[in-house]
Structure formats: structure tokens, C-alpha cells
């Protein structure tokens, strides 16, 4: 099995340079306008030289591999089975530094054809190679942190240790990507939140100084500045409220809600709170619900906030004098609530980022509309807590539809929650 693989590999190593050399030499000669038979001869000569060179190298490698006897299996069956089940990637190397065992998690990273390959071929991280060379039998494991920048940035911790009883070294990898990402998100979040608060705070402080200074006796300026200060103060209040909501929802995200909730009255009361805003923008807000809609398991306050955020956005980014439609319908064992507007829409590339904290398609426009950049992040967390799904369909200039799908309570479940 191994022998036939090497033979094929040798042939492959010959064929590629041969074909490339032939093509390159032929192209070059054709370009130079040489007679046909000289071109063919010359091309064949170049290709033969390349093929001999590459083939010789492959043959040498084949000799080295063939001479090396297959090592006896160093692991008892029970150890092999247990290592196989480890969630973290594990690699065992013999005393020559070649792989003798890789568990399923490691095979997923380095490929199934790992046997007898040197470490440097399997994990291209020089610090691990160095640790394997320096760690002594029975010594404490050497710990190394390293990152792989492409295709997706990933971070790992590697433990390298050598057995005191057998000529074996193990390399155990621990994936730190999720932890690092969370750390970075937290740092970004604190930086963003303080930046968002600092801007309105600076504006308010500036106007206070102006009012105390040269605008002290200017009645018109005072009215104007007080108006701006009030807008900025409201913005800070909204931001703090949204930050607190987000934190509260995140803290509860792992606790599934337990109340039986009918969505139609929730949507209607959320819409009622937004009616004055819709009126001021001259937007008509229409709600339609299919009769006999099943209830869901939910948290009424959170669901009210969810639909309020979606309808608020539909009004904010909708068309002045336009429409917002909210449609409730059952769909494949779920209840679907679609909030559609005929406003400015969202560019396709922005859609996957909308639920990130502080992400806005147009920061200036969001600020003018009193946005905090947290509304859809709150929506996403509420939907997650309710084990639901959020779908966003939009095209720039053609309006947007935000659809929330929540698992419907079956009749039997609904009866049980009623009794409880
Ligand atoms: P904001 O407070 O800025 O409205 P959100 O998290 O609610 O923050 O929304 C994030 C961004 O998504 C908004 O700034 C806006 O660019 C875009 N957006 C949300 N809803 C809509 C919509 N219905 N139409 C167009 N753009 C929208």
C-alpha cells in the first residue's frame, strides 16, 4: 500500500516538471520564431533535464522512506481509543521526530495521511519543532502559544512533553481562538462604549463653557445651545439604557424563557408606543395576523423590546410618507413575524454585520435619527434566548424585511404551561 503510493508520487513528480518544461520551452521557441524541428528538440531537451532532476529528488526521498522500517505500534489499544476521543488535537512522535499517531481532532487539522511524516511537515510552527528538540524525557511540558493568520485567524496553545518510559514525544494543541476572540470583543466593546459616551459628553461640556463665557447674555444662543445639550443628554441616556438592556439580556441568555406569550398583542402594544413617531414621519404602520396563531414560550418584556426595535428601525430608516407592514403567520412549526419597510434598504455586504454592536451602515444618519448602534445586537440576543431565528432581506433602495421566527408552542405544551 505504502509502496504503491510512493511509486505514484514518483511518477507525479516526474510528470509535472516534464509537462511544464515542454510547454514553457515550446512557447518560448514559438515566440522567438525558431524552425519547428529545432523548437521540438529543444523543448524535449529542457523537459528531460527538468524531469531527471525532479525524478532524482523523488527517488532519493523514496529510498529514504523505503529504508525506514515501519515502527511497531507504540500505543496499547486502550490508550489509542482514549486518545482518539480527546476533543483536543494530539500528535505522538517517535525518537526521529516522525508522527506515529494522530487522534481524530489532529487528523482533521493535518490530514489523514500523517504517518511517518516529520513534525515540520505537519505543523509548520518552528517554536513547536524547537520544543520537541529541547524537551527532555519526563520533564515538565513546554507550553507555547502560536497563531495561524490564514485562512481564518486562529490561536493555539501547544503542550510538548517527552515520555520517561518510551521514546515518544506528544504534542497536544489547545484551541484558544474562542477565548481570544471574546477577550478582543470585550476590549472593543469597552473602547466603543466609552467613545460613544465621550462625544456627547464633550459636546455638553463645551456648550456649558460657552454659556458661561461669551454667550452668557445672548438669549438666542442660549436657547439654541440648551436645545443641543438636551438632544445630547437624551442620546447618552438612550445609550446607557441600551447598554444595560444588552447586559441584562446577555446575562439571562442561557436561561430559556418559560411564559406562554401570544405574539399579536405584544406586537400591537409595541406598535402603539411607536404610533406618535410614525405619525410625525407620516408613515402608515399596518399589522396583520393570521387567525389562530399559536402562542410561543417567551419573555413578554423582551419580546416587546424586540418588536419595538425592529419597528423603530423600519420607521427611522423607512421612507417619509411610506409604509411599514408587520405580518404574523405560522411557518413550519414556528411563528413568523416579518417587519417590512419601503425605505432606503441596506447594501448586501452590510447585512451580515448588522447585529454587531455599534455597527451602522451610515454612522451620521444613525446619529441624526437618535440611533445607538445597539438595537439589532439586542434583537439578536433576545432571538437567541428564545431559540429563534432572525432573517434579514434587503437591497439598497428597495426596502428591508426583518423576519423573526420563534418556535410555536404545540397545543399539548400550551395546555401544560397553562396548568403550571
Ligand atoms: P441604530 O441605533 O443605529 O439604528 P441598530 O443596531 O438598530 O442601530 O441598526 C444598525 C444599523 O442597521 C443601522 O444604523 C442602519 O444602518 C441599519 N438598519 C437597521 N434597520 C434598518 C432598516 N429597516 N432599513 C435600513 N437600514 C437599517
Give me the mean pLDDT over the 140-149 stretch. Answer: 90
> Is the Cβ atom of 354 under 6 angstroms away from ligand 1?
yes
Give me the mean pLDDT over the 133-142 stretch. Answer: 93
* Euclidean distance between CA atoms 52 and 41, whole angstroms: 16
Phi then psi dihedrals of residue 337, to 5 deg: -125, 110
> Is the Cβ atom of 366 under 6 angstroms away from ligand 1?
yes
Give me the mean pLDDT over the 378-390 stretch. Answer: 95
Write the residue with the smallest CA distance to atom 7 of ligand 1.
375
| Alpha-carbon distances, residue 23 vs 11, 20, 45, 149 (angstroms) | 18, 5, 12, 35
Task: Report the number of secondary-structure helices (H) and strands (E) in the chain.
Answer: 13, 12
Is 365 a residue whose pLDDT tops 50?
A: yes
Write the residue with the smallest CA distance to atom 19 of ligand 1.
313
Q: Per DSSP, what are the bridge partners of residue 401? A: 340, 393
Is 405 a residue whose pLDDT tops 90?
A: yes
Q: Classify residue 352 by burial, with Cβ atoms within 10 Å: 0-12, 13-18, 19+.
A: exposed
| Alpha-carbon distances, residue 182 vs 154, 177, 243, 275 (angstroms) | 13, 9, 17, 39
**Is the alpha carbon torsion for 82, 85, 87, 92 positive or negative?**
positive
* Euclidean distance between CA atoms 389 and 207, whole angstroms: 45
> Is the Cβ atom of 341 under 6 angstroms away from ligand 1?
yes
> Is the Cβ atom of 360 under 6 angstroms away from ligand 1?
yes
> Is the Cβ atom of 344 under 6 angstroms away from ligand 1?
yes
Residue 32 banded pLDDT, cuts 50, 70, 90? confident
pLDDT the model gives residue 50? 78
pLDDT the model gives residue 72? 63
Q: Classify residue 402 by burial, with Cβ atoms within 10 Å: 0-12, 13-18, 19+.
A: buried
Phi then psi dihedrals of residue 402, to 5 deg: -105, 120
Ligand 1 centre to CA of 313 (Å) is 6
Asked if residues 92 and 74 have their Cβ atoms less than 8 Å apart, the reply is: yes
> Is the Cβ atom of 317 under 6 angstroms away from ligand 1?
yes
Ligand 1 centre to CA of 124 (Å) is 43
Which atom, in ligand 1's list, is nearest to the CA of 374?
Answer: 6
Asked if residues 137 and 157 have their Cβ atoms less than 8 Å apart, the reply is: no
Candidate of 235, 313, 379 to mutate for ligand 1, largest count of ligand atoms within 8 Å of Cβ: 313
- Report residue 196 as a C-alpha cell: 460613544
Give me the mean pLDDT over the 204-214 stretch. Answer: 92
> Is the Cβ atom of 313 under 6 angstroms away from ligand 1?
yes
Q: Classify residue 41 by burial, with Cβ atoms within 10 Å: 0-12, 13-18, 19+.
A: middle
Ligand 1 centre to CA of 403 (Å) is 14
Phi then psi dihedrals of residue 94, to 5 deg: -85, -175
Ligand 1 centre to CA of 228 (Å) is 23
Ligand 1 centre to CA of 268 (Å) is 21
Is 3 a residue whose pLDDT tops 60?
A: no
Q: Max Cα separation, the chain?
A: 99
Please count the other Cβ atoms lying within 10 Å of the Cβ belonging to residue 7.
Answer: 11
Asked if residues 295 and 409 have their Cβ atoms less than 8 Å apart, the reply is: yes
- Could you report the per-residue pLDDT of 214-270, keeping only the tens digit for each? 888 899 999 999 999 999 999 999 999 999 899 888 888 888 899 999 999 999 999
- Could you report the per-residue pLDDT of 167-190, keeping only the tens digit for each? 999 999 999 988 888 888 788 888
Q: Which of 70-79, 127-136, 191-200 has the highest mean pLDDT?
A: 127-136
Write the residue with the smallest CA distance to atom 10 of ligand 1.
360
Amino acid at each position: 500500500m505504502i509502496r504503491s503510493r510512493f511509486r505514484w508520487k514518483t511518477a507525479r513528480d516526474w510528470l509535472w516538471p516534464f509537462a511544464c518544461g515542454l510547454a514553457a520551452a515550446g512557447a518560448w521557441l514559438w515566440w522567438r520564431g525558431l524552425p519547428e524541428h529545432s523548437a521540438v528538440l529543444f523543448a524535449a531537451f529542457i523537459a528531460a533535464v527538468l524531469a531527471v532532476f525532479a525524478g532524482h529528488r523523488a527517488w532519493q526521498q523514496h529510498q529514504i522512506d523505503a529504508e525506514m522500517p515501519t515502527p511497531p505500534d507504540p500505543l496499547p489499544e486502550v490508550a489509542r481509543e482514549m486518545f482518539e476521543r480527546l476533543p483536543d488535537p494530539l500528535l505522538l512522535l517517535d525518537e526521529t521526530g516522525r508522527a506515529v499517531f494522530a487522534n481524530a481532532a489532529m487528523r482533521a487539522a493535518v490530514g489523514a495521511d500523517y504517518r511517518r511524516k516529520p513534525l515540520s511537515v505537519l505543523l509548520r510552527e518552528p517554536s513547536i519543532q524547537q520544543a520537541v528538540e529541547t524537551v527532555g524525557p519526563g520533564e515538565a511540558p513546554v507550553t507555547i502559544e502560536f497563531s495561524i493568520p490564514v485562512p481564518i485567524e486562529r490561536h493555539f496553545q501547544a503542550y510538548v512533553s517527552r515520555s520517561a518510559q518510551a521514546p515518544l514525544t506528544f504534542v497536544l494543541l489547545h484551541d484558544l481562538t474562542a477565548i481570544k476572540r471574546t477577550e478582543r470583543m470585550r476590549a472593543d466593546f469597552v473602547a466603543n462604549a466609552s467613545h460613544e459616551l465621550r462625544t456627547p459628553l464633550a459636546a455638553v461640556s463645551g456648550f456649558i463653557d460657552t454659556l458661561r463665557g461669551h454667550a452668557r447674555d445672548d438669549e438666542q444662543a442660549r436657547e439654541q445651545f440648551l436645545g443641543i445639550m438636551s438632544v445630547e443628554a437624551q442620546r447618552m441616556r438612550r445609550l446607557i439604557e441600551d447598554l444595560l438592556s444588552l447586559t441584562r439580556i446577555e446575562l439571562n441568555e442561557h436561561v430559556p424563557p418559560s411564559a406562554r406569550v401570544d405574539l399579536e398583542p405584544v406586537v400591537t402594544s409595541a406598535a402603539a408606543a411607536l404610533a406618535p413617531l410614525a405619525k410625525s414621519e407620516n408613515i402608515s404602520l399596518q399589522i396583520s395576523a393570521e387567525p389562530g396563531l399559536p402562542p410561543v414560550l417567551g419573555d413578554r418584556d423582551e419580546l416587546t423590546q424586540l418588536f419595538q426595535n425592529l419597528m423603530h428601525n423600519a420607521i427611522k430608516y423607512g421612507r417619509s410618507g411610506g409604509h411599514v407592514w408587520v405580518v404574523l403567520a405560522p411557518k413550519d412549526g414556528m411563528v413568523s413575524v416579518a417587519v417590512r419597510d419601503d425605505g432606503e434598504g441596506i447594501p448586501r455586504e452590510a447585512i451580515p454585520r448588522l447585529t454587531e454592536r455599534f455597527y451602522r451602515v451610515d454612522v451620521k444618519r444613525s446619529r441624526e435619527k437618535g440611533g445607538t448602534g445597539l438595537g439589532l445586537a439586542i434583537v439578536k440576543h433576545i432571538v437567541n434566548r428564545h431559540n429563534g431565528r432572525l432573517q434579514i432581506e434587503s437591497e439598497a433602495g428597495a426596502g428591508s424585511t426583518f423576519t423573526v421566527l420563534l418556535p410555536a408552542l404545540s397545543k399539548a405544551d400550551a395546555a401544560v404551561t397553562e396548568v403550571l
